[in-house]
Amino acid sequence: MCDLARGGHTVPRIGGGRIGRVGHGGAWLHLTRDIGHIFRAALGPAARQPLGLAVSGGGDSVALLHLAVEAGCKVAVATVDHGLREEAAAEAAAVAARCEALGVPHRVLEWRWNGRGNLSDAARRARMTLLADWARGAGLAAVALGHTQDDVAETFLMRLARDAGVDGLAAMAARREVAGMVFLRPLMGVGRAELRGWLLSRGLDWVDDPTNEDAHFARVRARRAIAAMADAGVGADQIAALAGRMTDVREALDGSVAEAAARIARLDRGDVILEGAGLAQLPVEIRRRLMRDVVMWIGSAEYGPRGAELERFIAAALEGRAATLGGCRMTPGRGRLRITREMRAVAGLECATDQVWDGRWRVTGPEIDGDNSGLTIRALGIEGLAQIAGAEAATMPRLSLLASPAVWRGDMLVAAPLAGQGAGWSAACAAPFGPLSAAPLSH
């Protein structure tokens, strides 16, 4: 296919990509380590299950592929083509040819940007969603990504430049779930140069994305900063180790938040009730993290609210004032704070009865005349509340009911489970993740 990189020589371009270069020092320094053993240990039980691999053709992902094949894993490969570079299609074809030679199934997953929002964020989200959908369809248990120790260090510096807190500076997770699929990062204990040395020792080639040299990208600037720090004796491994210690700090904080949630929080049919006095007595950071988790769960948010906005929300809570944040409404009363979904945030949000509504609610009930095809779920709202006889007797507060899931047929209310209306219909709210899951149910 091409000449191979050896020592300080270069790898000629394959499929239109830039050439890769590996020097003797960085590539061969750590070859005494058994990278295969490190990889298998990081995979753990996943090594014995059908495993998906995200392979772009770069050095990290090519090493991921060959390590998995050498380990005897049952794998399938996907390459995401974002359509952002002319060379991408040829590089995906090169990965397909490599996989064919190895007897490994391969798919190209295409995505095209619609021009809206932040390109990098949109591409990242699309990549994870495409991979998750592909993996589920292929019957895979998890998808492995080729992130390395260098990626951990670079991410740390990028977030440090954005004044990130403990969560931002903590190392990326070795295991996480996205769109219902488990994603693994089994190479985070291995350096990028170390992987390339491993590839060279086996006579294997790879392609480097030319954007890896474009200083317009924050990651490239972080990579160069790490290279510059090497003269001062600071390497990617040390920065990654610091990120790992920040992960330990985050876990310790999460433990304290879970203890606080168990003591002063209650879950009530999708709402959270907090004891005002208990909230005031919490250490500042624990209080902030608990409130952030509450808002993220009720608001079905992927990211927490901005720091200044969260601080204003917390100040209102401590002063016993009503406030809104992130699609959530906080109402004080009798020494407690009830945080519920804000009606405005779900107005117009509608889905079929077999789908999850507002990211948290699943509604089930009997078939009507053998057919539920005309039914939808949307917020109860003022219109729905007006159709309920004796709504004033409902045990849920009015503001909570307004934003609660209801079953509709056109403009006619069929059921409002949280208001006790609609025989045989029920609404179940997904439980919170993380520390907030320690909060008990209200009785």
CATH number for the domain spanning 276: value is 3.30.465.60
> Does residue 189 have a known ligand-binding role?
no
Domain identity same for 325 and 384? no
> Does residue 61 have a known ligand-binding role?
yes
Residue ending a domain, among 215, 244, 273, is: 244
Question: What would the pLDDT profile of 137-183 be if each residue is shown by its tens digit?
Answer: 999 999 999 999 999 999 999 888 887 788 888 888 899 988 889 99
How many structural domains comprise the chain? 3
Domain identity same for 172 and 143? yes
Residue (of 150, 126, 163) closest to 226 by Cα position: 150
CATH number at residue 236: 3.40.50.620
Domain identity same for 313 and 377? no
Question: What would the pLDDT profile of 242-288 be if each residue is shown by its tens digit?
Answer: 999 999 999 999 999 999 999 999 999 999 999 999 999 999 999 99
What are residue 120's phi and psi, to 5 degrees?
-60, -45
Domain identity same for 190 and 293? no
> By residue range, what is the domain housing residue 424?
346-429
Domain identity same for 308 and 292? yes
Answer whether residue 424 is part of any domain: yes
Domain identity same for 369 and 334? no
Domain identity same for 226 and 276? no
Provide the pLDDT confidence category of residue 391 given band limits of 50, 70 and 90: low
Query: Counting beta carbons within 10 angstroms of the beta carbon of residue 149, is it exposed (0 to 12), middle (13 to 18) or buried (19 or more)?
Result: buried
Question: What would the pLDDT profile of 361-385 be if each residue is shown by its tens digit?
Answer: 999 988 754 556 689 999 999 999 9
Helix ranges restricted to H, 75-191: 88-102, 119-137, 149-161, 166-169
Domain identity same for 178 and 323? no
> Does residue 370 have a known ligand-binding role?
no
Answer whether residue 437 is part of any domain: no
Domain identity same for 312 and 181? no
Domain identity same for 326 and 372? no
Share of the chain above pLDDT 70, in %: 90
| Interatomic CA distance for residues 407 and 52, integer angstroms | 39
> Does residue 56 have a known ligand-binding role?
yes
> Does residue 103 have a known ligand-binding role?
no
> Does residue 422 have a known ligand-binding role?
no
Domain identity same for 195 and 81? yes
Residue ending a domain, among 181, 213, 244, is: 244
What's the token pair of residue 180? 């219902």
